[in-house]
């Protein structure tokens, strides 16, 4: 049996300014999600669950430390086996090579060749889903076409301007692809999930052509460009999030408090893996009042938490109240504080008696490591 049918590429280049300051020092891929995950866990788990043994990732320069910290040796996603490997590359290296007139796609082409796999799967970073890539490959092969792209029916308001949308006919043939900003008359749209399967040889060929033409782009843009009526469109029916600004990010997290959505994403037939930590189970004191919330391990909950997602190792002191908020790992919320509709990035300390309040439409974001000594009222 040929085991390495597919190799995988993950791209993470586009910087969505609407996600600032959450992506100030980290790529979108390592943004925390649902108390204990990072967005990239979903892609990595999709890869692990499909027995893909080789992975190539591209990030922006200066954003890789959180990637390495999270992925480590890749053990949790089975990337550390004797036959398995992963590579991390920075996009700026391509640019420098371009400046030197050297062949900038060589490293990708080299990777694709060495993977010895017949197909390559590409995934972007802003789409969160738990997709069975083995089935995707199977369908791609039976359709006998150049490329398969995944799409999802989604409400128009859940798309960003630069998303690609498809118009399909009854045979699921792509009739038209447009940027979301140009579509105004539809409530429900077919969102391109930026997940592609393509023959490895064909991808190499595309890269070589681009190289020859002196075009510096990225794999995602080349694949998007290639979508045509001959592309096989695969409709993903599971739960999917499109994350491109604070609001969409906040909503995607809050969706996890809906049991059906939570089960669909995290309790499907495929497991989602994340970095393992040796944390003590979370302790709730006699004074805790908690409901409709999720908690990672290692927390100490003495106060009140409602409709919120609490990360690892968080302390919510007595008399503190947290409503409709995302509290990332390592936060300390002191007594008698009120946090409402807020996103507290990692290791934030909120002083006693402070009020942090946003609105569901515009949650307040407190940057990583901040010590909050004054009220923050936003919205």
Partner 1 sequence: MKTEMVAMILAGGQGTRLGKLTKNMAKPAVPFGGRYRIIDFTLSNCANAGIKNVGVVTQYQPLELNAHIGNGASWGLDGIDSGATILQPYSSSEGSKWFEGTAHAIYQNMDYIDQLDPQYVLILSGDHIYKMDYEAMLENHKQNHASLSVAVIEVPFKDASRFGIMNTDENDRIIEFDEKPENPKSNLASMGIYIFNWGRLRSVLRTGYAKDSTMSDFGKHVIPAYLDSGENVIAYRFKGYWKDVGTIDSLWESNMEFLNPEMDLDIRDKGWRIYSKNHISPPHFITEMGSAKDSLIADGCYIAGDVKHSVLSDDVQVKDGAAVSDSVVMSGATIGKNVVVKRAIIGENAIIGDNAEIDGTDEIEVVGYNEVIGVTLDED
**Residue ranges that bind partner 1, judged by CB under 8 A:** 34-36, 76, 259, 262, 266-267, 271-274, 276-278, 280-298, 300-301, 309-310
Query: Given the complex with partner 1, which of 37 and 196 has the nearer CB atom?
Result: 37
Query: Given the complex with partner 1, which of 65 and 292 has the nearer CB atom?
Result: 292
Query: Given the complex with partner 1, which of 87 and 284 has the nearer CB atom?
Result: 284
Q: In the block, which residue shows the tokens 């960003």?
A: 160
Query: Given the complex with partner 1, which of 41 and 163 has the nearer CB atom?
Result: 41
Note whether 230 and 146 are within 8 A (CB). yes
Helix (H) or strand (E) segment spanning residue 96:
helix 91-99
Residue 369 beta carbon to partner 1: minimum distance, rounded to whole angstroms: 18
Query: Given the complex with partner 1, which of 215 and 289 has the nearer CB atom?
Result: 289
Note whether 220 and 122 are within 8 A (CB). yes
Query: Given the complex with partner 1, which of 159 and 270 has the nearer CB atom?
Result: 270
Residue 344 beta carbon to partner 1: minimum distance, rounded to whole angstroms: 16
The set of long-range contacts for 179-183, using a CB threshold of 8 Å and a minimum separation of 24, is 180/156, 183/156
Residue 271 beta carbon to partner 1: minimum distance, rounded to whole angstroms: 6
Residue 175 beta carbon to partner 1: minimum distance, rounded to whole angstroms: 39
Query: Given the complex with partner 1, which of 167 and 297 has the nearer CB atom?
Result: 297
Query: Given the complex with partner 1, which of 51 and 294 has the nearer CB atom?
Result: 294
Residue 75 beta carbon to partner 1: minimum distance, rounded to whole angstroms: 8
Residue 295 beta carbon to partner 1: minimum distance, rounded to whole angstroms: 6
Residue 82 beta carbon to partner 1: minimum distance, rounded to whole angstroms: 14
SS3 338: strand
Give Cα 207 to chain centroid, integer Å: 25
The closest of 185, 150, 145 to 164, measured between CA atoms, is: 150
What is d(CA 105, CA 243) in angstroms, rounded to the nearest whole number?
A: 28
Give Cα 59 to chain centroid, integer Å: 13
Residue 59 beta carbon to partner 1: minimum distance, rounded to whole angstroms: 24
Residue 21: asked if its preceding bond is cis (omega within 30°), the reply is yes
Q: In the block, which residue shows the tokens 């020092």?
A: 25
Residue 37 beta carbon to partner 1: minimum distance, rounded to whole angstroms: 8
Under DSSP, the state recorded for 274 is: -
CA distances to 111, 178, 354 from 294, in Å: 40, 38, 23
Under DSSP, the state recorded for 280 is: P
The closest of 194, 205, 103 to 146, measured between CA atoms, is: 205
Residues near 65 by Cβ (< 8 Å), separated by ≥ 6?
none
Query: Given the complex with partner 1, which of 3 and 278 has the nearer CB atom?
Result: 278
The closest of 90, 69, 79 to 7, measured between CA atoms, is: 79
Note whether 321 and 337 are within 8 A (CB). yes
Query: Given the complex with partner 1, which of 208 and 268 has the nearer CB atom?
Result: 268
Q: In the block, which residue shows the tokens 């990332």?
A: 328
Instruction: Report the DSSP beta bridge partners of residue 189.
Output: 154
Residue 79 beta carbon to partner 1: minimum distance, rounded to whole angstroms: 15
Beta-carbon-side half-sphere exposure of residue 326 (alpha carbons within 13 Å): 31
């Amino acid at each position: 049996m040929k085991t390495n049918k597919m190799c995988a590429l993950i791209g993470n280049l586009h910087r969505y300014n609407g996600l600032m300051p959450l992506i100030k020092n980290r790529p979108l891929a390592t943004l925390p999600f649902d108390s204990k995950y990072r967005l990239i866990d979903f892609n990595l788990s999709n890869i692990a669950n499909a027995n893909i043994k080789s992975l190539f990732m591209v990030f922006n320069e200066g954003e890789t430390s959180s990637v390495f910290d999270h992925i480590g040796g890749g053990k949790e996603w089975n990337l550390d086996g004797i036959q398995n490997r992963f590579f991390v590359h920075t996009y700026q290296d391509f640019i420098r090579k371009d400046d030197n007139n050297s062949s900038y796609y060589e490293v990708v082409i080299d990777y694709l060749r060495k993977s010895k796999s017949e197909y390559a799967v590409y995934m972007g970073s802003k789409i969160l889903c738990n997709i069975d890539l083995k089935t995707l490959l199977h369908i791609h092969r039976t359709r006998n076409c150049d490329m398969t792209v995944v799409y999802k029916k989604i409400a128009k308001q859940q798309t960003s301007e630069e998303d690609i949308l498809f118009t399909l006919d009854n045979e699921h043939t792509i009739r038209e692809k447009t940027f979301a900003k140009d579509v105004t008359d539809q409530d429900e749209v077919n969102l391109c999930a930026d997940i592609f399967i393509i023959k490895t040889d064909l991808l190499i060929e595309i890269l070589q052509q681009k190289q020859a033409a002196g075009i510096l782009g990225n794999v995602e843009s080349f694949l998007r460009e290639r979508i045509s009526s001959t592309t096989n469109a695969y409709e993903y029916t599971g739960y999917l999030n499109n994350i491109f600004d604070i609001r969409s990010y906040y909503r995607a997290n809050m969706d996890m408090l809906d049991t059906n959505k939570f089960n669909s994403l995290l309790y499907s037939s495929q497991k989602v893996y994340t970095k393992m930590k040796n944390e003590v189970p979370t302790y709730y004191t006699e004074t805790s009042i908690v409901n409709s919330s999720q908690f990672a391990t290692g927390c100490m909950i003495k106060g009140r938490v409602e409709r919120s997602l609490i990360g690892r190792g968080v302390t919510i002191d007595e008399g503190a109240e947290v409503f409709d908020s995302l509290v990332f790992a390592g936060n300390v919320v002191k007594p008698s504080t009120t946090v409402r509709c807020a996103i507290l990035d990692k290791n934030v300390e909120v002083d006693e008696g402070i009020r942090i309040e946003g609105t569901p439409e515009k949650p307040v974001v407190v940057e990583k490591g901040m010590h909050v000594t004054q009220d923050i009222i936003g919205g």
